[in-house]
Amino acid sequence: MNMRATSPRIVVLDTETTGLSPEQGHRIIEIGCVELVNRRLTGNRFHVYINPERAIDDGAIEVHGITNEFLEDKPSFAGVARDFMAFVEGAELVIHNAPFDVGFINHEFALLADPLAPITNYCEVFDTLAFARQKHPGQRNSLDALCKRYGVDNSHRELHGALLDAEILADVYLLMTGGQFSLLDEASEGQSAGMESSVIQRIATDRAPLRVIACAADELDAHQQRLAAIEKAGGVCLWNC
């Protein structure tokens, strides 16, 4: 798993499950994903509820509020696997506590009639929890704690939900990795105008000297009159200091 996401297409992913461990037969009941391209949300989402074909632990229901009755008419994982793979394949997955979600996804892949290889065969994975622990050692790094640290509003998050948590994690990821504060984020605009933000173009030392064009007397007089008018209107003219 990567320690920093690098792909231009990122899918921020979260799941909800029937319990804590696929080794105990627990299954995925919700998948939520949001897409970023070049560190910008595109509005593309993938969200499904899944019938796990088994009962949900009471403790899990207390966390996410999803009941067995609600999932009775939902598709199985096999019924959504093709659409899920079409959405995530080739992207870099951003997941908080990635081993948990990756373990469940791989478990579901293995249960398919035509099993799929582990998700890391199709996608790279960036674990925001591992990154946060490296960036903030000795501090709490739950998603709620990171929201508080980075000023992300999660007041509407009364229960866990895969899509809501993926949306919140996308905001946390962008702030935690610092890219939203960098002018280099505008590289795409600069490149469209023929500029490369990462290349320094040096001026040749043997170039011809720049021409110095002095203003005419009437132009200088008009300029001074304009500065005087600004100073009279505003009190102090900074251009004349």
Contact by Cβ (8 Å): 223, 215: yes
DSSP state letter for 195: -
- Bridge partners (DSSP) of residue 94 are 12, 126
Max CA distance (Å), the chain: 89
Query: Strands across the sheet with 92-95, in order?
Result: 40-49, 28-37, 9-17, 92-95, 124-127
Looking at 26, 64, 96, 160, which residue is catalytic? 160
Say how far residue 229 (Cα) sits from the centre of its chain. Answer: 50
Q: What whole-number distance in Å separates Cα of residue 118 and Cα of residue 125?
A: 12
Tokens 């996308």 identify what position? 170
SS (H, E, C) 204-220: CCCCCCCCCCCCCHHHH
Tokens 């007397």 identify what position? 217
Catalytic site residue 96?
no
DSSP state letter for 142: S
Say how far residue 62 (Cα) sits from the centre of its chain. Answer: 27
Angle at alpha carbon of residue 98, lines to 12 and 17, rounded to 5° = 85
Contact by Cβ (8 Å): 165, 14: yes
Give the residue numbers annotated as catalytic, written as ranges. 160
